Amino acid sequence: MEMGGIAIRRQLSGWRRLTAAQLFVLSFAALIAIGTLGLRLIPGLYVGERLNWLDALFTATSAVCVTGLIVVDTATYFSFAGQAFLLALVQLGGLGMIAFTTVIILAMGKRLSLRTEATAATQADVAPDLDVTRLGYDVVKFTFAIEAIGAVLLYLLWVEDLGWAGAAWPAIFHSVNAFCNAGFSTFTTSLMGEQRSETLLLVIAALTVAGGLGFLTLEELSQWRKARAAQRRFRLSIHSRLALTTTLVLAIAGWGAFATFEWRHTLAGLDVSEKVANALLMSVTPRSGGFNSIDYGAATQSTSFLTIILMFIGGSPGSTAGGIKVTTFALIGLLALSRFRGQEIVNVWGRSIPEETIQRAVGLAVVSFSAITIGIFLFTWTESNAFPGGTPRTDFLSHMFEAASSFNTVGLSMNVTHRLSEPGRLLTILMMFVGRVGPLTFAAALARKRHRQGTDYHYAYEDVVVG
Q: What is the pLDDT of residue 260?
A: 96
Region of poorest pLDDT, from 75-84, 128-137, 242-251:
128-137
Residue type at 99?
Answer: A
- Please state the separation of Cα 186 from the chain's center in Å: 20
Region of poorest pLDDT, from 179-193, 329-343, 389-403, 404-418:
389-403
Give the number of other CB atoms < 10 A from CB of residue 281. Answer: 26
Whether the Cβ atoms of residue 294 and residue 267 lie closer than 8 Å to each other: yes
Whether the Cβ atoms of residue 371 and residue 407 lie closer than 8 Å to each other: yes
Q: What is the rounded CA–CA span in Å between residue 241 and residue 263? A: 32
Q: What is the pLDDT of residue 115?
A: 39
- What do you get for the CA distance between the two ends of the chain, in Å? 68
Mean pLDDT of 407-436: 93
Residue 264 has pLDDT above 80, yes or no: yes
Q: What is the pTM of this model?
A: 0.88
Give the number of other CB atoms < 10 A from CB of residue 24. Answer: 26
Give the number of other CB atoms < 10 A from CB of residue 278. Answer: 27
Residue 112 banded pLDDT, cuts 50, 70, 90:
very low
Whether the Cβ atoms of residue 310 and residue 321 lie closer than 8 Å to each other: no
Residue 282 banded pLDDT, cuts 50, 70, 90:
very high
Region of poorest pLDDT, from 47-56, 64-73, 87-96, 116-125:
116-125
Q: Which of 81-90, 233-242, 394-403 has the highest mean pLDDT?
A: 81-90
CA within 13 Å, CB half, 89? 34
Helix (H/G/I), strand (E/B), else coil: 104 = helix
Whether the Cβ atoms of residue 348 and residue 243 lie closer than 8 Å to each other: no
Measured between alpha carbons, how far is residue 114 from residues 310, 353, 441 in Å? Answer: 18, 12, 12
Tens-place pLDDT, residues 284-321: 999 888 899 999 989 999 999 999 999 999 999 878 88
Mean pLDDT of 200-212: 95
Phi, psi angles (nearest 5°) of residue 245: -65, -45
In 320-402, the DSSP E strands lie at 347-348, 351-352
- Rounded to 10 deg, the angle between the 132-166 and 97-107 helix axes is 170
Residue 9 banded pLDDT, cuts 50, 70, 90:
low
Nearest to 435 by CA among 446, 447, 427: 427
Residue type at 309?
Answer: I
Helix (H/G/I), strand (E/B), else coil: 87 = helix
Q: What is the pLDDT of residue 139?
A: 77
Phi, psi angles (nearest 5°) of residue 410: -95, -55
